[in-house]
Amino acid sequence: METKNHRDCKTICLYFPDKQLYQKCMTDKERFRRYIDKAYQETPELFPAEMKAGYQLSGFVSSTKLRLKMRRIRLKANGESYQIRPSLVMPYMVGWTDEMEKPLYLLQWGVPFEALAYVFGHDPMYWYRAYISFGRASIVGATVKARQQLPVDLLADEKHSRHKGEKIYITTTVAQECILGAEIALNAGADALGKGYQTFKTEVRELDPDYEPQTVNTDGWRATQNAWAALFPTVTVILCFLHAWLKIRQRSKRDQTLHQQIKQKVWHAYHAQTLPQFAQRMRRLREWARWHLTGVVQEKVLELCHNAPHFKLAFSFPAAHRTSNMLDRLMNYQDRLLYAMQYFHGHQASARLYIRAMALFWNFHPYRQKTQAKYRCPGFSPFERLNGFRYHDNWLHNLLIASSLGGSPG
C-alpha cells in the first residue's frame, strides 16, 4: 500500500552549524546563496539533478510555533520550487531536532510513546506522528548515497507479525548491516511477497536503473525464492546453511552426545575451503547419517545433504552470504520492537510507515560505545559503515540530511 510518494518531496535538508548562522542567512540573501552554492558543490546528491542549471530565491515558509522562516528556491530548468530546511528542525517543523533527538533515540529499545510523553512532555500522538513521518522517505535512497555503494550480495526473509489480529509478513531485505527494504505482505504466497520486495526494487532502481543483485540468501521458503527470481531473473539464490542446521538441532538436542556428533560433522562440512572439499565432506556426512542415524533426525540430515547443490552455489561467489546471521540479528531488532508495541492495531498505511521508520532508525542509530571504540570512530553507525562518511556527528541530524528530497537521488 502506498502513501505519499517520497519522490514528490520538495524539501532539501541541509546542515547548518547553529541557529545563529541560519538566522543570518535568512536575513542576508547573498550569504544564503553562497551557503547553498557551497553545499551543492560538496553534497550534490542532496539536491535535485536540475539544480545544475541554476536557481533563484522564491519567498519564505514560516512556522509561528518555532518562530522560524525557511527560504524557498525555484529551479530555472523546470520552474519547480523547493524549500530549504536546516537539520536543526524536524520535518513539518514539529520541533527542534536537538530537543527531540534523545526521546526518539529511546524508541529503538521499544519505549512506548506514552512513556516519552510522560517524561518529555507533549502527548503520545505527538511522538508517534514524529516517528512514522520518517517512514515516508526512501529507505534505499536515504541509506545508500552513491550507486557504487549498492550491495550486490543480499539477504531476504519475512518477519511474521500481526495487524488487527491477522497474520502479516514484513518482507525484509538486508545488506551491509543495513535494512534496505521493509514492506507489508498480507500472505506468504509468491505474488504477495513479490509485491513486498518490489518496493526495494523500485527504490534501488531509482538510484541505479541498471541495478541487478548478484546473490540473495534465503531460508528455503519456495515462495521467497520465486519472488526474487521474478523480480531479478539473473540473481543467484543462495540457500541458508544455518536454517538447515537449525532443523537438525531442533530434533537432535534430546540426546546431547549424538547432538554434538552431528553438530561437529555438519559444521565441519560447512567450513570446507574449496568446492571439491565441501562435496567430499557432504558425501561422508550422508554415508555416516545412513549408518548411524534413524528416524526424523536422519531425515533432516539427509535433507541437508540433498540440498548440497544449492549450498555449492556460494563457492562461485566468495562475497555471498552462506548463512542468514546478519539478517537474523536485524530481525531480532524488529522482533523486540514489534513485541513491545504488541503489533499493529491501526490502519495498514500507518503500520507500513512504522516498519519503514524502524528500518531507517536502525540504519542511522549509533553503535554502542564498545563498537565505536573498536573502530575508533565516535558516532559510528550502519549508514557510515556502508558509505564511508557521515553528514553530521549526531545520528538524527545525519538521518534528516540523508533523507533530503525524501531520500530520492538528485
Q: Which positions ≥6 away from 380 have C-beta within 8 Å?
A: 366, 367, 371, 372
Rounded distance between C-alpha atoms, residue 25 and residue 208, angstroms: 35
**pLDDT at res. 3:** 43
Single-letter amino acid code for the residue at 394:
N
Of the pLDDT bands very low, low, confident and very high (cuts 50, 70, 90), residue 376 is: low
Q: Is the confidence at residue 373, as pLDDT, over 80?
A: no
What letter does residue 188 receive in the DSSP assignment?
S
Mean pLDDT computed over every residue of the chain:
93
321-331 pLDDT, tens digit per residue, is 999 999 999 99
User: What burial letters (b/e) apply to 116-137, b meaning 16+ CB within 10 Å?
Assistant: bbeeeeeeeebbbebbbbbbbb
- Terminal alpha carbon distance of the chain: 25
**pLDDT at res. 95:** 93
**pLDDT at res. 150:** 96
Q: Is the confidence at residue 289, as pLDDT, over 50?
A: yes
Least confident of 13-22, 53-62, 302-311, 374-383: 374-383
At the second CATH level, the architecture of 97-235+324-390 is 2-Layer Sandwich (3.30)
Contact 132, 140 (CB under 8 A): no
Q: Is the confidence at residue 310, as pLDDT, over 90?
A: yes
Side-chain-side CA neighbours of 400 within 13 Å: the count stands at 29
Q: Is the confidence at residue 396, as pLDDT, over 80?
A: yes
Domains in the chain: boundaries = 97-235+324-390, 241-316
Longest Cα pair distance anywhere in the chain, in angstroms?
84
